[in-house]
Structure 1
Amino acid sequence: MRCALLLHPTVTRKTAMAAAASLASSPAVSLYCRLLASRMTVQSQYGGFLHTARRFASTTTGDDSGASKPKIVHYSKLGMDGFNDVKYNTAADEFLENLEAKLDSLDSAEVEDVNYSSGVLTIETSSRGTFIINKQAPNVQLWLSSPMSGPHHYDMVTSTSNGVETVYWRSDNDEHDLKERLEAELSEVLDDSFQL
């Protein structure tokens, strides 16, 4: 019996609990199905029911025999893979290091300190406060905390033209560009044009 059928919304609770009790110890079903059946059996003793498991199981496909399932991955939503993703880490480090170098080369009393360490760039200004831009590897994003416009999250977006790949950092809220946001805000802070 497939585990997904066990949790199908049309199966009655009584039938599901009876099947769960017999499946919990059966070596012929997948580990996921046995664990789920065990949990359902325990919850039935306390009068509860595993609604979240019913929703999860309804999204699975195929049988539970261990066959590989199709995997859909969104680049900006890789989860912990972002810690090891060379493309993301290279692009994020290059962006932050370029910004740090550009700000360090300025001769302005308005920028008091620029520090980049462990994926966090801190820009302290004398009149506007502190900008913080940091890597968020679990989300494959850069995050900006701006004293002028507040917090923003930026997804990594790539575009290829004539065989050249360009990386952009786009807001996950309204699609504005991180580079353009920083240029505008830092130009205002410096009271002069700032270009990355």
Structure 2
Amino acid sequence: MTDSAFESLADSLLAALEEAIADHADAELQGGVLTVEGDEGTWIVNKHAPTRQVWLSSPKSGARHYAFAADAGKWLDTRGGGDLLEVLSAEFGLPIRWSAP
């Protein structure tokens, strides 16, 4: 994956996350970092260009790194294969959807 392809995918993902979560929690996207303030703490989702990953820091599930699996069209945990959107949907109790542009 090229740098520009990663940037496009990650930016699209972060924008979709902000849109899905903003009606339910205080969510702010700035400079490739999504910060969500909720009753249970602070979530941070950011793109990490050097590794072409999206990183999650969650008060519920801890820190995880996700890489885009083109064949599945999902951001999968680099250590366990879990889907980022499934994790966040469960943690926020709402459906979060995104598809690769």
TM superposition score category, shorter chain reference: 0.7 to 0.9
Q: TM-score, normalised by structure 2?
A: 0.88
Match among 14, 17, 36 for residue 96 of structure 1: 14
Corresponding position of 2:92: 186
Distance in 2, matches of 1:116 and 1:136, equals 15
Paired residue secondary structure (1:155): strand
Corresponding position of 1:54: none
More helix by share: 1
What is the CA deviation profile of residues 52-78 of structure 1, one whole-angstrom value per residue up to 9, with x for unaligned ones? xxxxxxxxxxxxxxxxxxxxxxx5xxx
Match among 66, 69, 72 for residue 157 of structure 1: 69
Q: Flag the structure with more relative contact order, 1 or 2, with Cα contacts below 8 A and sequence separation at least 6.
A: 2
Corresponding position of 2:29: 116
Distance in 2, matches of 1:194 and 1:130, equals 19
- CA RMSD for the aligned pairs? 1.5
Percent identity reads 37
* Runs (4+) off by over 4 Å: none
Distance in 1, matches of 2:40 and 2:95, equals 16
Tell me if 1:174 matches 2:87: no
Larger Rg: 1
The unaligned stretches of length 5 or more in structure 2 are none
The unaligned stretches of length 5 or more in structure 1 are 1-74, 76-81, 160-165, 188-192
Paired residue secondary structure (1:152): strand
Corresponding position of 2:56: 144
Distance in 1, matches of 2:81 and 2:49, equals 19
